[in-house]
Amino acid sequence: MSDAAEVQASLEETLKTEILRMYQEVAETPDAEFHFYHGRSAAELFDYDPEELEAAPEAAVDSFAGVGNPHLRADIQVGDTVLDLGSGAGLDAIIAARKVGPTGKVIGVDLNPTMCEKARASVEASGARLECHAVRMEDLPLPPDSVDVVISNGVINLSFRKRRVIEEIFRVLKPGGRASITDIVSGKQLSQSIVNDPKLWAS
Amino acid sequence: MFRLFEESGFTEVKSAVVPGFRFRKAATQGMAEAYGVKAVMMTARKPG
């Protein structure tokens, strides 16, 4: 491995650890202060349907850490297969599960196995089922052309390999399938000190 | 990210700024504004 590749691998591992730590903290202590707004107030700010929030388990709403509302433009239909990339505590998956109904399917992917368990429990508590994979989003364990809709909320920006993530979304979507993503973007090149700071990256 | 979607083969790529998004801590928000950091909604379709 070249020096540059070793540095990259080391940064990725450090970042993975920091992301796991931060989002574990959001799940376990949702009342703590973070860089970002989260929980019910954030979901309300992003125009989540109040009925959907009321129907969702409180734990999923309290640990919501999205940056927008991918459901506003996802156009999820009954019977669809939906992939929630970075499913976190499960709020977006729960809403998707209510939309696809019993003939559809919701698949979650999250780096954190604890979050996967939490999301699975929350979706089941809401009367639906979630298949959740605790894996990196750069290598999705799904066959090509198998998903109708991909949703994601504030997660792709956490990856060092964004092109790879988007290529994976393209691969798993059925022809004619759609992606509805909310995420953080930067209009300028970030300084190296910011890029190399896992705490800022994970926030 | 918009460009990455187009380069990956997606069509109908659209984006809009998420209204109301801001970081909780003033220092982080200040840095975000300095670097043009914002939340966006994006949609895209895989050609059928």
Radius of gyration of chain B (CA): 14
- Which residues of chain B make contact with A160, given a CB cutoff of 8 A? none
Closest CA relative to residue A163, chosen from B5, B33, B44? B5
**Res. A65: pLDDT tops 90:** no
Higher model confidence: residue B1 or residue A174?
A174
Size of interface A-B (CB pairs under 8 A): 113
Lowest mean pLDDT among A41-50, A93-102, B17-26: B17-26
Every domain of chain A and the residues it spans: 3-202
Instruction: Determine the pLDDT at residue A203.
Output: 47
Mean predicted confidence (pLDDT) in A70-99? 95
Instruction: Determine the pLDDT at residue A126.
Output: 77
Instruction: Determine the pLDDT at residue A32.
Output: 65
Tally the domains of chain B: 1
Q: How far is A107 from chain B (nearest CA, A)?
A: 19
- Which residues of chain A make contact with B28, given a CB cutoff of 8 A? 35, 203
Higher model confidence: residue A84 or residue B34?
A84
A171 in contact with B, Cβ within 8 Å: no
Percent of chain A with pLDDT over 90: 54
Instruction: Determine the pLDDT at residue A147.
Output: 98
Compare all CA atoms of chain A with the CA of B30 and give the residue at the minimum distance. Answer: A35
Lowest mean pLDDT among A71-85, A170-184, B12-26: B12-26
Lowest mean pLDDT among A15-19, A147-151, A169-173, B40-44: A15-19
**Res. B42: pLDDT tops 90:** yes
**A168 φ/ψ angles, rounded to the nearest 5 degrees:** -70, -40
Instruction: Determine the pLDDT at residue A176.
Output: 98
The whole-angstrom separation of Cα A159 and Cα A142 is: 19
Higher model confidence: residue A177 or residue A17?
A177
**Res. A36: pLDDT tops 80:** no
ipTM for the predicted complex:
0.91
DSSP assignment of chain A: --HHHHHHHHHHHHHHHHHHHHHHHHHH-TTS--SB--HHHHHHHTT--HHHHHHS-HHHHHT---SS-GGGTT---TT-EEEEET-TTSHHHHHHHHHH-TTSEEEEE-S-HHHHHHHHHHHHHTT--EEEE-S-TTS--S-TT-EEEEEEES-GGG-S-HHHHHHHHHHHEEEEEEEEEEEEEESSPPPHHHHT-HHHHH-
The verdict on a CB contact (< 8 Å) between B38 and A187 is yes
The boundaries of the domain holding residue B21 are 2-45
Percent of chain A with pLDDT over 70: 77
Instruction: Determine the pLDDT at residue A59.
Output: 87
A31 in contact with B, Cβ within 8 Å: no
> What is the domain class of A3-202 according to CATH?
alpha beta
